[in-house]
Protein backbone atom coordinates (compact mmCIF):
# COMPACT_ATOMS: atom_id res chain seq x y z
CA UNK A 1 0.00 0.00 0.00
CA UNK A 2 1.50 3.32 -0.86
CA UNK A 3 -1.22 5.60 0.51
CA UNK A 4 -0.95 7.65 -2.64
CA UNK A 5 2.74 8.31 -1.99
CA UNK A 6 5.44 7.60 -4.50
CA UNK A 7 7.41 4.36 -4.06
CA UNK A 8 11.13 4.54 -4.39
CA UNK A 9 13.84 1.92 -4.00
CA UNK A 10 17.01 3.20 -2.39
CA UNK A 11 20.02 0.96 -2.55
CA UNK A 12 22.88 1.99 -0.26
CA UNK A 13 26.30 0.46 -0.61
CA UNK A 14 28.61 0.67 2.39
CA UNK A 15 32.14 0.05 1.20
CA UNK A 16 31.49 1.68 -2.13
CA UNK A 17 35.13 1.97 -3.17
CA UNK A 18 36.02 -1.68 -2.64
CA UNK A 19 36.72 -4.44 -5.09
CA UNK A 20 33.37 -6.16 -4.60
CA UNK A 21 31.51 -2.99 -5.51
CA UNK A 22 33.59 -2.36 -8.62
CA UNK A 23 33.79 -5.90 -9.91
CA UNK A 24 30.45 -7.37 -8.95
CA UNK A 25 27.82 -5.00 -7.56
CA UNK A 26 27.98 -2.12 -10.00
CA UNK A 27 28.29 -4.38 -13.05
CA UNK A 28 25.24 -6.26 -11.71
CA UNK A 29 23.33 -2.99 -11.48
CA UNK A 30 24.35 -2.09 -15.00
CA UNK A 31 23.16 -5.44 -16.31
CA UNK A 32 19.84 -5.13 -14.52
CA UNK A 33 19.42 -1.56 -15.69
CA UNK A 34 20.23 -2.33 -19.31
CA UNK A 35 17.73 -5.20 -19.23
CA UNK A 36 15.00 -2.99 -17.69
CA UNK A 37 15.01 -5.07 -14.51
CA UNK A 38 15.66 -2.28 -12.05
CA UNK A 39 12.71 -1.00 -10.04
CA UNK A 40 10.95 1.83 -11.80
CA UNK A 41 12.08 4.52 -9.41
CA UNK A 42 15.41 3.94 -7.75
CA UNK A 43 18.51 5.65 -6.39
CA UNK A 44 21.89 4.14 -5.61
CA UNK A 45 23.78 5.80 -2.80
CA UNK A 46 27.44 4.91 -2.57
CA UNK A 47 29.01 5.52 0.80
CA UNK A 48 32.78 5.73 0.97
CA UNK A 49 35.53 7.39 2.91
CA UNK A 50 37.44 8.59 -0.14
CA UNK A 51 37.01 12.23 -1.04
CA UNK A 52 35.21 11.75 -4.35
CA UNK A 53 32.35 13.69 -5.81
CA UNK A 54 29.57 11.86 -7.62
CA UNK A 55 31.14 12.99 -10.93
CA UNK A 56 34.65 11.82 -10.06
CA UNK A 57 33.25 8.52 -8.74
CA UNK A 58 31.44 7.95 -12.01
CA UNK A 59 34.71 8.55 -13.89
CA UNK A 60 36.36 5.92 -11.71
CA UNK A 61 33.74 3.24 -12.18
CA UNK A 62 33.31 3.64 -15.94
CA UNK A 63 36.37 1.50 -16.89
CA UNK A 64 35.45 -1.15 -14.30
CA UNK A 65 32.01 -1.50 -15.76
CA UNK A 66 33.37 -1.55 -19.30
CA UNK A 67 35.45 -4.52 -18.23
CA UNK A 68 33.02 -6.39 -16.00
CA UNK A 69 29.48 -6.01 -17.31
CA UNK A 70 27.93 -9.13 -18.77
CA UNK A 71 25.71 -7.27 -21.16
CA UNK A 72 27.25 -4.99 -23.81
CA UNK A 73 28.54 -1.81 -22.25
CA UNK A 74 26.95 1.22 -23.89
CA UNK A 75 27.88 4.75 -22.84
CA UNK A 76 24.36 6.11 -23.17
CA UNK A 77 22.95 3.34 -20.95
CA UNK A 78 25.69 3.98 -18.42
CA UNK A 79 24.95 7.73 -18.42
CA UNK A 80 21.26 7.06 -17.83
CA UNK A 81 22.04 4.72 -14.96
CA UNK A 82 24.38 7.33 -13.47
CA UNK A 83 21.48 9.79 -13.25
CA UNK A 84 20.43 7.61 -10.30
CA UNK A 85 23.87 7.34 -8.67
CA UNK A 86 25.10 9.45 -5.79
CA UNK A 87 28.37 9.37 -3.91
CA UNK A 88 28.51 10.47 -0.30
CA UNK A 89 31.75 10.92 1.60
CA UNK A 90 31.07 9.33 4.96
CA UNK A 91 32.92 7.03 7.31
CA UNK A 92 30.74 4.07 8.14
CA UNK A 93 32.73 3.50 11.33
CA UNK A 94 31.71 6.92 12.70
CA UNK A 95 28.26 7.32 14.20
CA UNK A 96 28.42 11.07 13.68
CA UNK A 97 28.42 10.59 9.88
CA UNK A 98 25.06 8.79 9.80
CA UNK A 99 22.79 11.84 10.16
CA UNK A 100 24.22 13.00 6.81
CA UNK A 101 23.23 9.68 5.25
CA UNK A 102 19.76 10.18 6.69
CA UNK A 103 19.55 13.67 5.26
CA UNK A 104 20.38 12.41 1.76
CA UNK A 105 17.89 9.55 1.76
CA UNK A 106 15.13 11.54 3.47
CA UNK A 107 15.30 14.22 0.80
CA UNK A 108 14.11 11.67 -1.77
CA UNK A 109 10.76 11.47 0.01
CA UNK A 110 8.04 8.96 -0.77
CA UNK A 111 7.69 5.58 0.86
CA UNK A 112 11.01 3.91 0.32
CA UNK A 113 12.22 0.38 0.10
CA UNK A 114 15.66 0.83 1.65
CA UNK A 115 18.31 -1.80 1.01
CA UNK A 116 21.64 -1.63 2.80
CA UNK A 117 24.39 -3.62 1.15
CA UNK A 118 27.27 -4.03 3.58
CA UNK A 119 30.24 -4.60 1.26
CA UNK A 120 32.58 -4.35 4.23
CA UNK A 121 34.53 -6.67 6.51
CA UNK A 122 32.23 -8.69 8.82
CA UNK A 123 33.39 -6.94 12.00
CA UNK A 124 31.60 -3.83 10.70
CA UNK A 125 28.20 -5.49 10.10
CA UNK A 126 26.88 -4.96 13.62
CA UNK A 127 28.34 -1.46 14.17
CA UNK A 128 26.77 -0.28 10.90
CA UNK A 129 23.42 -1.79 11.88
CA UNK A 130 23.59 -0.03 15.29
CA UNK A 131 24.51 3.30 13.71
CA UNK A 132 21.71 3.08 11.15
CA UNK A 133 19.28 2.45 13.96
CA UNK A 134 20.64 5.16 16.21
CA UNK A 135 20.50 7.76 13.44
CA UNK A 136 16.81 6.96 12.90
CA UNK A 137 17.40 5.77 9.32
CA UNK A 138 15.59 2.50 10.10
CA UNK A 139 12.32 4.30 10.75
CA UNK A 140 8.94 2.57 10.59
CA UNK A 141 7.79 4.59 7.57
CA UNK A 142 10.00 2.75 5.10
CA UNK A 143 10.81 -0.93 4.56
CA UNK A 144 14.37 -2.01 5.33
CA UNK A 145 16.53 -4.89 4.15
CA UNK A 146 20.16 -5.49 4.91
CA UNK A 147 22.38 -7.64 2.71
CA UNK A 148 25.49 -9.24 4.15
CA UNK A 149 27.88 -11.79 2.82
CA UNK A 150 29.76 -14.55 4.61
CA UNK A 151 31.56 -15.21 6.86
CA UNK A 152 28.67 -15.18 9.30
CA UNK A 153 30.85 -15.72 12.33
CA UNK A 154 33.81 -18.03 12.58
CA UNK A 155 31.97 -20.65 14.62
CA UNK A 156 28.53 -21.17 16.07
CA UNK A 157 29.07 -18.89 19.06
CA UNK A 158 30.32 -15.91 17.06
CA UNK A 159 27.56 -16.50 14.49
CA UNK A 160 24.98 -16.35 17.29
CA UNK A 161 26.46 -13.16 18.66
CA UNK A 162 26.43 -11.56 15.22
CA UNK A 163 22.84 -12.68 14.71
CA UNK A 164 21.71 -11.23 18.03
CA UNK A 165 23.48 -7.97 17.30
CA UNK A 166 21.98 -7.66 13.82
CA UNK A 167 18.56 -8.44 15.25
CA UNK A 168 18.69 -5.43 17.54
CA UNK A 169 18.40 -3.29 14.40
CA UNK A 170 16.74 -5.56 11.81
CA UNK A 171 14.29 -8.39 12.26
CA UNK A 172 15.44 -11.72 10.88
CA UNK A 173 13.02 -11.39 7.97
CA UNK A 174 14.93 -8.29 6.79
CA UNK A 175 18.38 -9.88 6.91
CA UNK A 176 19.46 -11.19 3.51
CA UNK A 177 22.48 -13.47 3.95
CA UNK A 178 24.27 -13.93 0.68
CA UNK A 179 25.77 -17.19 -0.42
CA UNK A 180 26.67 -16.34 -3.98
CA UNK A 181 26.50 -20.03 -4.92
CA UNK A 182 22.73 -19.81 -4.55
CA UNK A 183 22.76 -17.22 -7.32
CA UNK A 184 24.43 -19.63 -9.74
CA UNK A 185 22.25 -20.81 -12.57
CA UNK A 186 23.00 -24.52 -12.31
CA UNK A 187 22.61 -24.68 -8.55
CA UNK A 188 19.07 -23.42 -8.99
CA UNK A 189 18.74 -25.88 -11.82
CA UNK A 190 19.48 -28.86 -9.56
CA UNK A 191 16.03 -28.41 -8.06
CA UNK A 192 14.37 -28.07 -11.45
CA UNK A 193 16.09 -31.13 -12.82
CA UNK A 194 15.31 -33.22 -9.75
CA UNK A 195 11.69 -32.28 -9.24
CA UNK A 196 10.51 -31.97 -12.83
CA UNK A 197 11.74 -35.27 -14.20
CA UNK A 198 10.34 -38.60 -13.11
CA UNK A 199 13.41 -39.96 -14.85
CA UNK A 200 15.58 -38.53 -12.08
CA UNK A 201 13.35 -38.05 -9.06
CA UNK A 202 12.19 -41.65 -9.19
CA UNK A 203 15.72 -42.96 -8.75
CA UNK A 204 17.05 -40.28 -6.40
CA UNK A 205 17.29 -42.55 -3.37
CA UNK A 206 19.49 -45.04 -1.57
CA UNK A 207 18.00 -48.01 -3.45
CA UNK A 208 19.45 -46.69 -6.69
CA UNK A 209 22.31 -44.36 -5.82
CA UNK A 210 25.71 -45.82 -5.04
CA UNK A 211 27.30 -42.55 -3.96
CA UNK A 212 27.36 -38.81 -4.56
CA UNK A 213 30.30 -36.51 -5.19
CA UNK A 214 30.29 -32.75 -4.82
CA UNK A 215 33.45 -31.03 -6.03
CA UNK A 216 34.53 -27.42 -6.17
CA UNK A 217 38.06 -27.26 -7.49
CA UNK A 218 39.83 -24.02 -8.23
CA UNK A 219 43.09 -23.31 -10.05
CA UNK A 220 43.57 -20.02 -8.22
CA UNK A 221 45.50 -19.82 -4.97
CA UNK A 222 44.65 -17.52 -2.10
CA UNK A 223 45.61 -14.46 -4.17
CA UNK A 224 45.69 -11.30 -2.08
CA UNK A 225 43.52 -12.76 0.70
CA UNK A 226 46.28 -14.53 2.61
CA UNK A 227 45.46 -12.95 5.93
CA UNK A 228 41.76 -13.81 5.83
CA UNK A 229 42.34 -17.26 4.39
CA UNK A 230 45.09 -18.27 6.78
CA UNK A 231 42.69 -17.90 9.69
CA UNK A 232 39.86 -19.53 7.83
CA UNK A 233 40.91 -22.49 5.68
CA UNK A 234 38.92 -24.43 3.13
CA UNK A 235 36.51 -26.02 5.62
CA UNK A 236 35.14 -22.68 6.75
CA UNK A 237 35.71 -20.81 3.51
CA UNK A 238 33.93 -23.27 1.19
CA UNK A 239 32.45 -26.31 2.94
CA UNK A 240 30.46 -24.68 5.75
CA UNK A 241 28.61 -22.49 3.26
CA UNK A 242 28.80 -23.12 -0.49
CA UNK A 243 29.23 -26.89 -0.47
CA UNK A 244 26.67 -27.43 2.27
CA UNK A 245 24.22 -25.37 0.22
CA UNK A 246 24.74 -27.69 -2.72
CA UNK A 247 24.55 -30.76 -0.48
CA UNK A 248 21.28 -29.63 1.05
CA UNK A 249 19.72 -29.08 -2.38
CA UNK A 250 20.94 -32.44 -3.63
CA UNK A 251 19.57 -34.22 -0.56
CA UNK A 252 16.35 -32.36 0.16
CA UNK A 253 12.74 -33.48 -0.18
CA UNK A 254 10.52 -31.64 -2.61
CA UNK A 255 9.37 -28.36 -1.03
CA UNK A 256 5.61 -27.92 -1.00
CA UNK A 257 5.95 -24.56 -2.77
CA UNK A 258 8.56 -22.25 -4.24
CA UNK A 259 8.53 -20.00 -1.23
CA UNK A 260 11.76 -19.29 0.60
CA UNK A 261 10.43 -20.85 3.81
CA UNK A 262 9.39 -24.05 2.07
CA UNK A 263 12.72 -24.46 0.27
CA UNK A 264 14.91 -23.49 3.20
CA UNK A 265 13.09 -25.67 5.69
CA UNK A 266 13.71 -28.70 3.46
CA UNK A 267 17.35 -27.73 3.06
CA UNK A 268 17.90 -27.35 6.77
CA UNK A 269 16.46 -30.80 7.41
CA UNK A 270 19.31 -32.25 5.36
CA UNK A 271 21.92 -30.30 7.29
CA UNK A 272 20.36 -31.30 10.59
CA UNK A 273 20.47 -34.92 9.46
CA UNK A 274 24.20 -34.95 8.71
CA UNK A 275 25.71 -37.68 10.85
CA UNK A 276 28.53 -36.35 13.04
CA UNK A 277 31.79 -38.17 12.59
CA UNK A 278 32.40 -40.65 15.38
CA UNK A 279 35.33 -40.33 17.72
CA UNK A 280 38.37 -42.11 16.38
CA UNK A 281 36.91 -42.43 12.86
CA UNK A 282 38.18 -39.18 11.35
CA UNK A 283 40.71 -40.95 9.17
CA UNK A 284 37.88 -42.78 7.37
CA UNK A 285 36.12 -39.53 6.60
CA UNK A 286 38.50 -36.64 6.14
CA UNK A 287 41.60 -35.63 4.24
CA UNK A 288 43.11 -32.18 4.59
CA UNK A 289 45.70 -30.80 2.20
CA UNK A 290 47.85 -27.77 1.55
CA UNK A 291 49.38 -26.85 -1.80
CA UNK A 292 53.08 -26.54 -2.35
CA UNK A 293 54.71 -25.03 -5.41
CA UNK A 294 53.87 -26.59 -8.70
CA UNK A 295 52.58 -25.95 -12.19
CA UNK A 296 49.15 -24.91 -13.34
CA UNK A 297 48.83 -25.16 -17.11
CA UNK A 298 52.64 -24.97 -17.47
CA UNK A 299 52.93 -21.88 -15.29
CA UNK A 300 54.99 -22.24 -12.16
CA UNK A 301 53.07 -21.18 -9.06
CA UNK A 302 54.22 -20.73 -5.51
CA UNK A 303 53.33 -22.83 -2.53
CA UNK A 304 50.78 -21.74 0.07
CA UNK A 305 53.45 -20.99 2.67
CA UNK A 306 55.09 -18.52 0.28
CA UNK A 307 51.87 -16.58 -0.30
CA UNK A 308 51.66 -13.07 1.18
CA UNK A 309 50.35 -12.75 4.72
CA UNK A 310 50.40 -16.46 5.44
CA UNK A 311 52.02 -17.52 8.72
CA UNK A 312 55.35 -19.41 8.48
CA UNK A 313 54.58 -23.12 8.84
CA UNK A 314 50.86 -22.38 8.77
CA UNK A 315 48.78 -25.55 9.21
CA UNK A 316 45.80 -24.05 7.31
CA UNK A 317 44.17 -26.45 4.87
CA UNK A 318 43.67 -25.36 1.27
CA UNK A 319 42.04 -28.66 0.36
CA UNK A 320 39.41 -30.80 2.04
CA UNK A 321 37.94 -34.15 1.09
CA UNK A 322 35.16 -35.39 3.29
CA UNK A 323 32.91 -38.42 3.37
CA UNK A 324 29.51 -37.74 4.90
CA UNK A 325 26.24 -39.53 5.49
CA UNK A 326 22.79 -38.07 5.84
CA UNK A 327 20.37 -39.81 8.16
CA UNK A 328 17.27 -39.49 5.99
CA UNK A 329 14.92 -42.09 4.51
CA UNK A 330 16.02 -40.97 1.06
CA UNK A 331 19.79 -41.06 1.35
CA UNK A 332 20.44 -43.25 4.34
CA UNK A 333 23.69 -45.17 3.83
CA UNK A 334 24.70 -43.31 0.65
CA UNK A 335 28.23 -41.93 0.98
CA UNK A 336 28.45 -38.28 -0.02
CA UNK A 337 31.98 -37.27 -0.89
CA UNK A 338 32.73 -33.60 -0.82
CA UNK A 339 35.91 -32.06 -2.07
CA UNK A 340 37.20 -28.54 -2.49
CA UNK A 341 40.66 -27.17 -3.04
CA UNK A 342 42.75 -24.35 -4.34
CA UNK A 343 45.50 -24.63 -6.95
CA UNK A 344 44.12 -27.84 -8.33
CA UNK A 345 44.65 -29.07 -11.84
CA UNK A 346 41.46 -27.63 -13.25
CA UNK A 347 38.59 -25.36 -12.37
CA UNK A 348 35.42 -27.37 -11.95
CA UNK A 349 32.40 -27.25 -9.70
CA UNK A 350 30.10 -30.17 -10.19
CA UNK A 351 27.85 -32.75 -8.60
CA UNK A 352 28.10 -36.37 -9.67
CA UNK A 353 25.48 -38.98 -8.85
CA UNK A 354 26.75 -42.46 -9.45
CA UNK A 355 24.05 -45.10 -9.54
CA UNK A 356 24.36 -48.74 -8.58
CA UNK A 357 25.69 -50.84 -11.43
CA UNK A 358 24.09 -53.96 -12.88
CA UNK A 359 26.65 -56.74 -12.92
CA UNK A 360 29.35 -56.52 -15.54
CA UNK A 361 28.67 -53.04 -16.87
CA UNK A 362 29.58 -49.51 -15.90
CA UNK A 363 27.28 -47.67 -13.53
CA UNK A 364 24.97 -44.95 -14.78
CA UNK A 365 26.41 -41.57 -13.99
CA UNK A 366 24.73 -38.22 -13.85
CA UNK A 367 26.88 -35.12 -13.60
CA UNK A 368 25.47 -31.68 -13.01
CA UNK A 369 28.10 -29.23 -14.17
CA UNK A 370 27.91 -25.99 -12.32
CA UNK A 371 31.01 -24.03 -13.28
CA UNK A 372 32.71 -23.10 -15.59
CA UNK A 373 30.78 -25.44 -17.88
CA UNK A 374 27.08 -25.46 -17.16
CA UNK A 375 25.22 -28.54 -18.20
CA UNK A 376 24.21 -32.09 -17.55
CA UNK A 377 26.00 -35.27 -18.54
CA UNK A 378 24.39 -38.68 -18.41
CA UNK A 379 26.21 -41.93 -18.98
CA UNK A 380 24.31 -45.10 -19.71
CA UNK A 381 24.86 -48.45 -21.40
CA UNK A 382 23.94 -49.48 -24.93
CA UNK A 383 24.81 -52.14 -27.45
CA UNK A 384 27.91 -51.57 -29.49
CA UNK A 385 26.80 -51.02 -33.10
CA UNK A 386 27.25 -54.06 -35.33
CA UNK A 387 26.44 -57.65 -34.84
CA UNK A 388 28.11 -58.13 -31.52
CA UNK A 389 26.13 -58.21 -28.25
CA UNK A 390 28.82 -56.21 -26.53
CA UNK A 391 27.48 -53.49 -24.22
CA UNK A 392 29.39 -50.23 -24.04
CA UNK A 393 28.93 -47.00 -22.10
CA UNK A 394 27.56 -44.08 -24.10
CA UNK A 395 26.63 -40.63 -22.97
CA UNK A 396 24.41 -37.65 -23.51
CA UNK A 397 25.97 -34.31 -22.76
CA UNK A 398 23.77 -31.24 -22.55
CA UNK A 399 25.93 -28.15 -22.47
CA UNK A 400 23.86 -25.19 -21.47
CA UNK A 401 26.68 -22.67 -21.50
CA UNK A 402 27.81 -23.75 -24.97
CA UNK A 403 24.79 -22.04 -26.47
CA UNK A 404 25.55 -18.37 -27.03
CA UNK A 405 21.97 -17.34 -26.32
CA UNK A 406 21.97 -19.16 -22.99
CA UNK A 407 25.27 -17.65 -22.07
CA UNK A 408 24.20 -14.10 -22.69
CA UNK A 409 20.82 -14.65 -21.06
CA UNK A 410 22.20 -16.16 -17.88
CA UNK A 411 22.41 -13.57 -15.15
CA UNK A 412 25.48 -13.54 -12.96
CA UNK A 413 25.06 -14.50 -9.33
CA UNK A 414 25.05 -10.96 -7.90
CA UNK A 415 22.64 -9.77 -10.54
CA UNK A 416 20.21 -12.49 -9.61
CA UNK A 417 20.66 -11.87 -5.89
CA UNK A 418 20.13 -8.12 -6.11
CA UNK A 419 17.05 -8.60 -8.24
CA UNK A 420 15.70 -11.15 -5.75
CA UNK A 421 16.32 -8.72 -2.87
CA UNK A 422 14.38 -5.98 -4.68
CA UNK A 423 11.51 -8.43 -4.95
CA UNK A 424 11.92 -9.51 -1.32
CA UNK A 425 12.41 -13.07 -2.49
CA UNK A 426 14.52 -14.76 0.16
CA UNK A 427 14.71 -18.13 -1.52
CA UNK A 428 18.16 -17.29 -2.90
CA UNK A 429 19.53 -16.39 0.52
CA UNK A 430 20.71 -18.40 3.49
CA UNK A 431 18.35 -18.69 6.41
CA UNK A 432 19.51 -18.39 9.99
CA UNK A 433 18.69 -22.05 10.81
CA UNK A 434 20.89 -23.09 7.88
CA UNK A 435 23.78 -21.04 9.22
CA UNK A 436 23.34 -22.54 12.68
CA UNK A 437 23.05 -26.09 11.48
CA UNK A 438 26.08 -25.94 9.24
CA UNK A 439 28.24 -24.36 11.95
CA UNK A 440 27.13 -27.03 14.38
CA UNK A 441 28.47 -29.71 12.08
CA UNK A 442 31.68 -27.89 11.16
CA UNK A 443 32.47 -26.93 14.76
CA UNK A 444 32.17 -30.55 15.81
CA UNK A 445 34.38 -31.61 12.92
CA UNK A 446 36.99 -29.03 13.84
CA UNK A 447 36.97 -30.32 17.41
CA UNK A 448 37.60 -33.82 16.08
CA UNK A 449 40.42 -32.55 13.86
CA UNK A 450 42.10 -30.99 16.90
CA UNK A 451 41.47 -33.99 19.14
CA UNK A 452 42.74 -36.53 16.61
CA UNK A 453 45.50 -34.21 15.36
CA UNK A 454 44.54 -34.75 11.76
CA UNK A 455 47.45 -34.36 9.42
CA UNK A 456 47.50 -31.75 6.66
CA UNK A 457 48.99 -33.52 3.64
CA UNK A 458 50.92 -31.59 1.04
CA UNK A 459 50.07 -31.63 -2.66
CA UNK A 460 51.83 -29.86 -5.49
CA UNK A 461 49.85 -27.10 -7.18
CA UNK A 462 48.29 -28.58 -10.30
CA UNK A 463 47.18 -31.80 -8.62
CA UNK A 464 43.63 -32.40 -7.40
CA UNK A 465 44.60 -32.59 -3.76
CA UNK A 466 46.91 -35.00 -1.91
CA UNK A 467 47.08 -38.62 -2.87
CA UNK A 468 45.31 -39.48 0.40
CA UNK A 469 42.15 -37.94 -1.07
CA UNK A 470 42.27 -40.56 -3.82
CA UNK A 471 42.85 -43.27 -1.26
CA UNK A 472 39.80 -42.17 0.70
CA UNK A 473 37.69 -43.37 -2.22
CA UNK A 474 39.96 -46.12 -3.51
CA UNK A 475 39.63 -47.93 -0.19
CA UNK A 476 35.96 -48.31 -1.04
CA UNK A 477 36.65 -49.24 -4.68
CA UNK A 478 35.56 -45.83 -5.92
CA UNK A 479 37.41 -42.91 -7.48
CA UNK A 480 36.89 -39.21 -7.95
CA UNK A 481 35.09 -38.56 -11.17
CA UNK A 482 37.44 -36.26 -12.98
CA UNK A 483 38.19 -36.86 -16.55
CA UNK A 484 35.58 -39.11 -17.97
CA UNK A 485 33.13 -36.57 -19.24
CA UNK A 486 33.43 -33.89 -21.86
C1 LIG B 1 34.33 -17.49 -1.96
C2 LIG B 1 35.57 -17.98 -1.25
O3 LIG B 1 33.25 -17.47 -1.07
O4 LIG B 1 34.06 -18.35 -3.06
C5 LIG B 1 36.74 -18.03 -2.20
O6 LIG B 1 35.87 -17.10 -0.17
C7 LIG B 1 36.41 -18.86 -3.41
O8 LIG B 1 37.92 -18.54 -1.56
C9 LIG B 1 35.10 -18.40 -4.03
O10 LIG B 1 37.46 -18.72 -4.35
C11 LIG B 1 34.66 -19.35 -5.12
O12 LIG B 1 33.57 -18.80 -5.80
P13 LIG B 1 33.31 -19.12 -7.33
O14 LIG B 1 32.04 -18.41 -7.65
O15 LIG B 1 34.49 -18.58 -8.07
O16 LIG B 1 33.20 -20.61 -7.41
SS (H, E, C) 185-240: HHHHHHHHHHHCCHHHHCCCCCCCEEEEEEEEECCCCCCCCHHHHHCCHHHHHHHH
In the predicted structure, residue 201 carries a pLDDT above the cut 80: yes
First to last CA, the chain: 52
Catalytic-residue membership of 142: no
3-state secondary structure of 89: strand
Residue 341 Cα, ligand 1 centroid: separation in angstroms? 10
Q: How far apart are CA 317 and CA 468, in angstroms?
A: 14
CA nearest ligand 1 atom 5, residue: 237
Check residue 3 and give its pLDDT: 47
User: Could you tell me which residues come within 8 angstroms of residue 30 by beta carbon, excluding any fewer than 6 positions away?
Assistant: 65, 69, 71, 73, 77, 78, 81
Question: From ligand 1's centre to the CA of 207, what distance in Å?
Answer: 34
In the predicted model, is pLDDT for residue 1 greater than 50? no
What number does the ligand 1 atom closest to the CA of 349 have?
A: 16
Q: Tell me the fold of 7-149.
A: Rossmann fold (3.40.50)
Write down the catalytic residue from 163, 180, 211, 242: 242
By most ligand atoms within 8 Å of CB, the mutation choice from 119, 228, 237, 240 for ligand 1 is 237
Closest ligand 1 atom number to CA of residue 225:
8
| CA 471 vs CA 23, 239, 323, 460: distances in Å | 39, 20, 12, 17
Q: What's the pLDDT score for residue 400?
A: 83
The pLDDT of residue 58: 98
Beta strand 111-118 with 143-149 is parallel
Asked whether the predicted pLDDT for residue 324 surpasses 50, the reply is: yes
How high is the pLDDT of residue 412?
87
For 182-474, CATH gives 3.30.360.10
- Tell me the CA–centroid distance for residue 23 and ligand 1, in Å: 14
Going by pLDDT thresholds of 50, 70 and 90, the confidence category of residue 401 is: confident
Distance 442 CA to ligand 1 centre (A): 18
Is the confidence at residue 285, as pLDDT, over 90? yes
Query: Which of 323, 324, 359, 341 minimizes the C-alpha distance to 465?
Result: 341
Is the previous residue joined to 372 through a cis bond, with omega within 30 degrees of 0?
Answer: yes
Q: Where are the domains of the chain?
A: 7-149, 182-474
Take atom 4 of ligand 1 and give the residue whose Cα is closest: 238
Which tens digits make up the pLDDT trace of 88-117?
A: 999 999 999 999 999 999 999 989 999 999
Beta-carbon count within 10 A of 67 CB:
11
Backbone phi, psi, residue 100, to 5°: -70, -35
Tens of pLDDT, residue by residue over 353-381, are: 999 999 999 999 999 999 998 999 999 99
Dihedral sign computed on CA atoms, order 459, 463, 467, 470: positive
Centre of ligand 1 to C-alpha 305, Å, is: 20
Helices (H), 334-486: 404-409, 413-422, 432-451, 467-474
Q: In the structure, which protein residues have their CB atom closer than 6 angstroms to any atom of ligand 1?
A: 180, 218, 237, 349, 371
CA 417 to chain centre: 11
3-state secondary structure of 360: coil
pLDDT in tens, 17-74: 999 999 999 999 999 999 999 999 999 999 999 999 999 999 999 999 999 999 899 9
Which numbered atom of ligand 1 lies nearest the CA of 232?
A: 6
Ligand 1 atom at shortest distance from the alpha carbon of 218: 10
DSSP letter string, 401-441: TTSHHHHHHS--HHHHHHHHHHTT-GGGEE-HHHHHHHHHH
Contact indicator for 132, 116 with CB cutoff of 8 Å: yes
Q: How far is the CA of 452 from the centre of ligand 1 (A)?
A: 29
pLDDT for position 170: 98
Q: Would the pLDDT of 484 be above 90? A: no
Is pTM, for the whole model, over 0.85?
A: yes
Q: Which of 24, 180, 215, 233 to mutate to test the pocket of ligand 1 (most atoms within 8 A of CB)?
A: 180
Partners of 115 in the beta sheet? 11, 145
CA-180 nearest atom, ligand 1: 14
Amino acid sequence: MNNGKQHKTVFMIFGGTGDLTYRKLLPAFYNLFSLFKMPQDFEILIIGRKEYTTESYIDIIRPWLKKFTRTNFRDEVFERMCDHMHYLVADFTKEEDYPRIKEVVDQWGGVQQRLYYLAVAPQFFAPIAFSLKKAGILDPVHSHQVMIEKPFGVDITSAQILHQQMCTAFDDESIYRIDHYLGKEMIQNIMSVRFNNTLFEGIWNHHQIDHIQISALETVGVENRGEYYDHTGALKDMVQNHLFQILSIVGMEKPHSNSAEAIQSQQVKVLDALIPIENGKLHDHLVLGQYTEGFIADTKTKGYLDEDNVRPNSPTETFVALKLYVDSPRLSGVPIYIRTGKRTQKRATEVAIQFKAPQGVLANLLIIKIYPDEGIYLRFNAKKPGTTQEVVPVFMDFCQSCVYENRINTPEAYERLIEAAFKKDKSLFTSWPQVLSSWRFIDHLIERIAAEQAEVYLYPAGQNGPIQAEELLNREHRHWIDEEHG
